[in-house]
Chain A
């Protein structure tokens, strides 16, 4: 088996060897630069912290009642087995430490879970705020938001600055360790849970809602 390429007149073109050396040189420099950055002592943590401090979320995680079992991870609005189950009770705090609670107090509720880095949440928050400004919640129904999946390495951090920019008027529970999201079976953002007056889950859904869909969701749990 002969290999024809080697013995044939080498297809040499002038600049290729210098170019190759140049290319390899650039490669070595680039690798050295990345290595220098990667191996430098503890670079990531201080820089992340430096961008964060004025408004880091409160250290205390919300406490969640043990009476209600975890809701199953959300898959679909149809045949959702969480519907009819008791919604886990949450004793949480807002960014400024104000207590915010989800309890079976007889009032229907809509809970929206938001992630600061999620573009769908970023688009939904002004829609909800405009809807609230225009109509407001029906009497007797509460709207509560949960800021979860908080990550200083991700875009649009910190969440309190983002929500303040959007003039978000909804009470916020800071879900520092994502336990509230886990207990409610969150699998995508934004995540909506409608809770009936008796404290059971009426509906769960994900995604951006239009003002009309918000109307429908809120009226579905409002007292008849």
Chain B
């Protein structure tokens, strides 16, 4: 029987992997601005990532959604208002990124990145609220205040941290997905005279 603590630990480990991937991408992006070698590595990664990055982003959104539903429906952690706003940003990404991954449609970045960006901002505020409860009204609502910390794996990985990690990884993957696939799709459109 898998317990809630096992699942939260599993997701915390996933979050650490996600963090490492995001930090790696950022480091590569920074290095690419300075060194031609890193630039070539980044270009190579982006062109080879292509639609695989979309699939990966879809998997991340799906795992995040499953985790979210597990914690509310199985573990009975009631979602607070900010949790709901993050869900509003995350759940549609499963459908949008899933369809985009199937159709290898890099244009999805324009729809998915704002959602993931908004979700990341809300998750950041929610995470800050857990450590600094005075950021809100100074009192807990009698129902489900957003300052409740349901768990803190390794002393710092809580639910909004998981959400933030997922949103940031989705953003990084979407950024990586803008490789040669995008160019290859745009070209036929241009040949049809339909592209600006």
B166 at the interface (CB under 8 A from A): no
B33 at the interface (CB under 8 A from A): no
Shortest Cβ distance from B102 into chain A, in angstroms? 7
In the complex, identify which listed stretch (A22-30, A79-87, A138-146) lies at the interface while the others stay far away. A22-30
| A residues adjacent to B (C-beta < 8 A) | 2, 4-5, 8-16, 19-20, 22-23, 26-27, 30-31, 33-34, 36-38, 40, 43-44, 47, 115, 117-121, 123, 149, 153-155, 181, 186-191, 206-208
Residues of A within 8 Å of B137, CB to CB, are 188, 207
Residues of B within 8 Å of A9, CB to CB, are 184, 188
Chain A to chain B contacts (Cβ below 8 Å), 10 pairs = A2-B192, A13-B181, A15-B52, A16-B50, A16-B104, A30-B62, A34-B69, A43-B74, A155-B148, A191-B139
Contact B74 A190 (CB under 8 A): no
Contact B184 A27 (CB under 8 A): no
Q: Which 4 A-B pairs have the closest CB atoms?
A: A8-B188, A118-B140, A13-B50, A207-B139
Contact A119 B1 (CB under 8 A): no
Give B2's nearest chain A residue, CB to CB: A37
Contact B140 A20 (CB under 8 A): no
Contact A16 B51 (CB under 8 A): yes
Give B152's nearest chain A residue, CB to CB: A155
B111 at the interface (CB under 8 A from A): no
Total number of B residues with any Cβ neighbor in A under 8 Å: 52
Give B7's nearest chain A residue, CB to CB: A37
Contact B101 A23 (CB under 8 A): yes
For the complex, give the distance between the alpha carbons of A123 and B185 in Å.
56
For the complex, give the distance between the alpha carbons of A154 and B149 in Å.
9
Shortest Cβ distance from B182 into chain A, in angstroms? 9
Selected from B48, B102, B130, B188, the residue in CB contact (under 8 A) with A13 is B48
Contact A119 B52 (CB under 8 A): no
Selected from A11, A26, A153, A187, the residue in CB contact (under 8 A) with B185 is A11
Known: A31-B66, A43-B1. A37 touches B48 (CB 8 A): no
Contact B138 A207 (CB under 8 A): yes
Give A13's nearest chain B residue, CB to CB: B50
